[in-house]
Amino acid sequence: MFKENNAGVTLAKGFKASGIKAGVKKSGKDDMAVIFTEKAATVAGTFTTNLVAAAPVFVSKDVVKKGTAHAIVVNAGCANACTGEQGMKDAKAMAALTAKELGIDASDVFVASTGIIGQTLPMDKIEAGIKLAVAALNENGSDAASKAIVTTDTYQKAGSFSFELGGKTVSIGGIAKGSGMIHPNMATMLCFITTDAAISHDLLQKALSKCVGISFNMVSVDGDTSTNDMVLVLANGMAENAMITEENADYEKFVAALEKVCVGLAQLVARDGEGATKFLEVNVTGATSFEDAKKVAMSVAKSPLVKTAFFGQDANWGRIICAVGYAGAQMVPEKTIVSLNEVVVFDKGMGAAYDEEALKAIMEEHDITVNINLGLGEDKATVWTCDLSYEYVKINGEYHT
Its sign, for the CA torsion 211, 215, 218, 224, is negative
Q: Measured in whole angstroms, how far is the alpha carbon of residue 186 from the centre of its chain?
A: 8
CA distance 294 to 383: 7
Among 268, 179, 230, 177, CA closest to 49: 230
Among 361, 345, 363, CA closest to 353: 345
Q: Are 118 and 87 in contact (CB under 8 A)?
A: no
Among 115, 80, 236, CA closest to 173: 236
CA distances from 300 to 118, 263, 275, 371, 396 (A): 32, 20, 19, 11, 22
Q: What are phi and psi of 288, to 5 degrees?
A: -85, -15
Q: Per DSSP, what are the bridge partners of residue 351?
A: 346
CA distance 98 to 133: 9
Q: How many of the other CB atoms lie within 10 Å of CB of 361?
A: 12
Catalytic residue among 83, 98, 188, 225: 188
CA distance 197 to 239: 6
Angle at 54 between CA 57 and CA 137, to 5 degrees: 55
Q: Does residue 369 carry a catalytic annotation?
A: no
E strands present in 128-257: 157-165, 168-177, 190-195, 230-235
Residue type, 315: A
The catalytic site residues sit at 188
